[in-house]
Amino acid sequence: MRLIKDLGGWFDHRLQLGQPIKEVMQHPVPRRTASWAYVFGSASLTVMILQFVTGICLAFVYVPAADGAWNSLQTLNHQQAFGWFIRALHGWGSNFMVALVIIHMVQVFLFGAFKYPRELTWIVGVFLLLMTLGMAFTGQVLRFDQDAYWGLGIGASVMGRMPFVGPKLVHLMLGGPIIAWEMPKDWPRTSLTRPRRTP
Amino acid sequence: MPELIQEPEAPVSSTIAPRKVSRRNMLMTFGIALNAIAGALFAVPVVGYIFGPARRKEMKKELAWITLGPLTQFPVGQTRLATYRNPFVRPWDGDTGNIPCWVRRISADKLQVFAINCAHLGCPVRWYPQSGLFMCPCHGGAYYADGSRASGPPPRGLFEYDYKLEAGQLWIKAGQVPTLASPPSQACADQPKRCACA
């Protein structure tokens, strides 16, 4: 115990993080602002970090190919240690992320937190919401099972209804003329390298 | 350090009631503890997942008998390249699951089966019948026909697989990439400097 304390002290003496953290945690706030309504922003951040960690872990085993994706998921579920758990965490994390981000948006809207001087926060948040929805959609496609395949068909049909740019958007989303591997193959690269912030 | 106790403040502070644990402090400690538990619940599976391939249970099942085909394709007095499908592959391993090895047939029932990997750093060695040597393309390791080290940086002779002959077929015990830490055969583990299995 004393060793841990000494070690922590050694690090804190150099990092100087302990005191600022303590001050933030002990900062007095008005009673009526100490509310659970404010947790959804940091909750989405937490879930996003979990998504990053579990997503990188899954990328160790996952095979990004139309004829390999499903088999690699079987390995994850039945052979890889904790593979089923990491996969479930990532899948549920994706659902929770969407839910939390939307709850967060409702809270910001109802509390009027989008007004001056926070308009830009709201605008950035709109794009982050769209990116979250986009990743939730492309992520479930990675399984490349029937769900994913026909889900892409739905996405393509929805896109195709856009006036003027519809056909182009369909090709852009599918990465080609048909529902094939192009788009999911692209997905891990873009999602792992694209920086993202919680709204 | 007794001199610290005799600071002038010491008697003053002793008259104040013992330090109270404020609700704020208690909740902070409680919150940190709760976060530590949540972090551990998350970290344990992640660490277990990442280190899964190194688990003892996984490492135990890494050697199995596998056939190299009929013995007739290895003429006496020659060293031939053979390829086998590793007994442990995942469905998407493709060509990387096909492992080559060198088969030297000394007599009718006496053979040596060498791993392709140089004992130095694992590059694939090649048999040169003209010079009667195995040569490594990476750092100039060379081995005699019996697999013992001839020159270069390798710390021992070529790795050898255990073999057996059954129903006219040559079988070897294989399954993992040979390294100094895990030679496929323990036959010459006592003589790592110069494998004298010939």
pLDDT at residue A127, as a whole number: 96
The yes-or-no verdict on residue B9 having pLDDT over 60 is: no
Rounded distance, CA A60 to CA A64, Å?
11
Q: What is the pLDDT of residues B130-150, one digit of tens each?
A: 999 999 999 999 999 999 999
pLDDT tens, residue by residue, A21-43: 888 888 888 888 888 999 999 99
Q: What residue has token string 């919150």?
A: B31
pLDDT recorded at residue A191: 44
Q: How far is CA A19 from CA A9, A12, A27, B39, in A?
A: 12, 9, 12, 22
Ramachandran class of B101: left when φ > 0, alpha when ψ lies in -120 to 50, beta otherwise: beta
Residue type (1 letter), B140: G
Q: Which of residues 2-31 of A touch B (CB under 8 A)?
A: 25-26
The model's pTM is 0.74
| C-alpha closest to that of A54 among A96, A85, A95, A100 | A85
Residue of A78, A86, A185 best to disrupt the B interface, most CBs of B under 10 A: A86
Cβ neighbours, 10 Å, residue A120: 9
CA separation for the pair A33, A29 (Å, rounded): 7
**Chain B (62-101) residues lying within 8 Å, Cβ to Cβ, of chain A:** 90-92
Q: What is the pLDDT of residues A143-156, one digit of tens each?
A: 888 888 888 889 88
Nearest CB to A26 within list B24, B46, B49: B24
Taking only the tens place, the pLDDT of each residue in B101-126 is: 999 999 888 999 999 999 999 999 99
d(CA A66, CA B135): 40
Give, in degrees to the nearest 5, the angle at Cα B92 between A81 and B158.
85
Mutation to test the B interface, candidates A21, A51, A82, A185, most B Cβ within 10 Å:
A82
CA distances for B132 relative to A196, B46, B67, angstroms: 60, 51, 26
What are the DSSP calls for chain B, one per residue?
-HHHHT-THHHHHHHSPPPP--HHHHHHHHHHHHHHHHHHHHHHHHHHHHTGGGSHHHHHT--EEEEEEEGGGS-TT-EEEEEEE-SS--TT-GGGGEEEEEEEE-SSS-EEEEESB-TTT-PBPEEETTTTEEE-TTT--EEETTS-EEESS-SSS--EE-EEEETTEEEEEE-S---SSS-S--TTTT--SS----
> Contact B49/A83, CB-based, under 8 Å?
yes
Question: Hey, are the CB atoms on A72 and B28 less than 8 Å from each other?
Answer: no
Measured between CA atoms, how close is B37 to chain A, in angstroms?
A: 15
Taking residues A119-129, what's their average pLDDT?
A: 96
The answer to whether the Cβ–Cβ distance between B28 and A25 falls below 8 Å is: yes
Taken in order B139, B145, B149, B150, is the CA torsion positive or negative? negative
Ramachandran area for residue A112 (φ above 0: left; ψ -120 to 50: alpha; else beta): left
What string of H, E and C letters represents the secondary structure of chain A?
A: CHHHHHHHHHHHHHHCCHHHHHHHHHCCCCHHHCCHHHHHHHHHHHHHHHHHHHHHHHHHHCCCCCCCHHHHHHHHHHCCCCHHHHHHHHHHHHHHHHHHHHHHHHHHHHCCCCCCCCHHHHHHHHHHHHHHHHHHHHHHHCCCCHHHHHHHHHHHHHHHCCCCCHHHHHHHHHCCCCCCCHHHHHHHHHHHHCCCCCC
Q: Measure Cα distances from B153 to B116, B119, B121 in Å.
A: 16, 9, 9
B22-53, pLDDT tens digit by residue?
Answer: 888 888 889 999 999 999 999 999 999 998 88
* pLDDT of B127 higher than 70: yes
In B, which residues are within 8 Å of A89 by CB distance?
42, 45
The reply to whether A105 touches chain B by the CB within 8 Å rule is no
- Residue B100 β-bridge partners: B83
CA distance B179 to B159: 8
- Confidence at A186, pLDDT banded by 50, 70, 90: very low
**Chains A, B: CB pairs < 8 Å:** 46
Q: Which span out of A101-105, B18-22, B58-62 was modeled with the highest average pLDDT?
A: A101-105
Q: What per-residue confidence (pLDDT) applies to B187?
A: 55
Provide the chain B residues 2-61 that lie in CB contact (below 8 A) with chain A.
24, 28, 31, 42, 45-46, 48-52, 55, 58
